[in-house]
Amino acid sequence: MKFLRAMKKIKIKKQIIAAVMACVLGIGGIYSVHASVINDAKNKKNEAQQELDNLNSQIDEIQAAQSDLQEEMDAYDDQLMALLTDMDLLEHDIDAKQGEIDQANADLEVAQEKEQTQYNAMKTRIQYMYENGDSNYWEAMMGATSITDLLNRVEYVSEVYDYDRKQLNAYQETVQQVADLKDQLDAQLAEMEELKISYEDQASSLQALIAEKSAAMDNFDAQLASAKSLASQYANTIKQQNQIIANEQARQAAEEAAARRAAQQQQQQNAGNQSNTTGNDTNASTSGSGTGLTSSGLNPAHTTNVSGSDVVAFASQYVGYPYVYGGNSLTEGADCSYFVMACFGQYGISLPRNSYSMQSCGQAVSYDCAQPGDIICYPGHVAIYMGNGRIVHASSPTNGICYGSATYRTILTIRRVL
């Protein structure tokens, strides 16, 4: 009997071992089946993640380029608006200058009429004397009652002649003065017309640049939309693969748990059989497991030791040299802003390169307090004030670097940088 019980124990142990081995092999088979699906999903997820990372990097680059481009476009827009404002002011100055020219033409016509009237009167008197000969003259002289009377008559004739001549000379001088003023006004108007053409060219160039940048921005928008669309697709792929992995891991865990429960039940059944056989064996055990899953009167004090008169004297050396738009040479050609910048730079005063930015330099000065060396800012133009209502500036391609009247155009602001 003991031998039979021992043999039965051995048989049950073998059955338990076989059940455990079957569980291990079953779990291993389950792991192998699901591991293949999970690994395939992980590979697809990793590929999609790499592509998504590359796209996100491209999106960052596109957005950075868009930001830089937008800053450029904003700057061009600001320049264009300032230029259009300057053009409006220039149109006003041109209209005002044309009015002055019309008045000068009218004054010239009146002066010429007065000159002609005086000339005709003088010519009539001379003609009368010539046609009547010297007899009337001598009769008048001989009719004198005394030496004093004679001298008075001679003096009277001489005074009449001198008066006529002085009046004619005065009218001729007036005509010349009005003609000179008209020529000066015509020259100023021509300079403004020339500046207007320059403004129109600059505006056209800025508008072309803005259009070009706008096209580039549209291209960036298209690239960004395409990149975001692809990124969305890759993100969906990653999401899908994550779901596949989670589902497979859940199924794997469920099947492993089921296999363990089946093995445990088999083990318990075998242990129960052994207990029934031996009657006293109580060595069987069970176990479980689980898984889980970002003004006016402004006169500021000087702040440097540089003399404004020295700056004016230095600038005056270049009167007669040429004007070149965008030019960077005082001798070979400069535009208004470079001329002012270079003259002040000679004395260690740093200024911006364009006239628009100079309107914010230094401190504001009212015209009645302007001193030599102050900068006068016009619409799209700058000049150096010389004092006594005069300026020195790089005027235009026709006039070059020259002197001029400080009030020949609308003054936007006067700046003191010394």
Tell me the pLDDT tens digit for each residue of 52-100: 888 888 888 888 988 888 888 888 888 888 888 888 888 888 888 888 8
Altogether, the residues listed in the chain come to a count of 418
- For CATH 3.90.1720.10, the residue range(s) in the chain are 308-416
Between CA 320 and CA 400 the distance in angstroms is 6
What is the rounded average pLDDT of the residues 222-249?
Answer: 86
pTM recorded for the entire structure: 0.52
Between CA 385 and CA 390 the distance in angstroms is 6
For residue 138, what pLDDT band results from cuts at 50, 70 and 90? low
Give the class (CATH, top level) of 38-257.
Answer: mainly alpha
* Winning range, highest mean pLDDT, from 38-42, 44-48, 302-306: 302-306
Contacts of 113 (CB under 8 A, 6+ apart): none
Tell me: pLDDT of 139 over 60.
no
- On whether the CB atoms of residues 164 and 125 are closer than 8 A, the answer is yes
> Minimal CA–CA distance to 396: which of 339, 337, 322?
322
Cα 207-211-215 angle, rounded to 5 deg: 170
- Residue 352's φ and ψ, nearest 5 degrees, are -70, 165
Between CA 389 and CA 386 the distance in angstroms is 7
- For CATH 1.10.287, the residue range(s) in the chain are 38-257
Between CA 40 and CA 201 the distance in angstroms is 64
* Residue 128: CA count within 13 A, CB half-sphere: 8
Contacts of 181 (CB under 8 A, 6+ apart): 104
- Tokens for 232, please give them: 């969305």
What is the rounded average pLDDT of the residues 232-251?
Answer: 85
Tell me: pLDDT of 31 over 70.
no
AA letter at 353? R
> Minimal CA–CA distance to 177: which of 185, 187, 189, 188?
185
DSSP-derived secondary structure for 41-106: HHHHHHHHHHHHHHHHHHHHHHHHHHHHHHHHHHHHHHHHHHHHHHHHHHHHHHHHHHHHHHHHHH
Q: Which helix (H) or strand (E) holds 185?
A: helix 147-278
Between CA 183 and CA 300 the distance in angstroms is 38
Between CA 35 and CA 279 the distance in angstroms is 44
Tell me: pLDDT of 289 over 50.
no
Cα 30-36-39 angle, rounded to 5 deg: 125
- On whether the CB atoms of residues 403 and 390 are closer than 8 A, the answer is yes
User: Which pLDDT belongs to residue 124?
Assistant: 72
- On whether the CB atoms of residues 76 and 214 are closer than 8 A, the answer is no
Which CATH topology does 308-416 take?
endopeptidase fold (from Nostoc punctiforme) (3.90.1720)
Work out the burial of residue 100: count CB atoms within 10 Å of its CB; fewer than 13 is exposed, 13-18 middle, 19 or more buried: middle
What is the rounded average pLDDT of the residues 124-151?
Answer: 54
Please provide the average confidence, as pLDDT, over all residues in the chain.
79
Cα 4-6-9 angle, rounded to 5 deg: 110
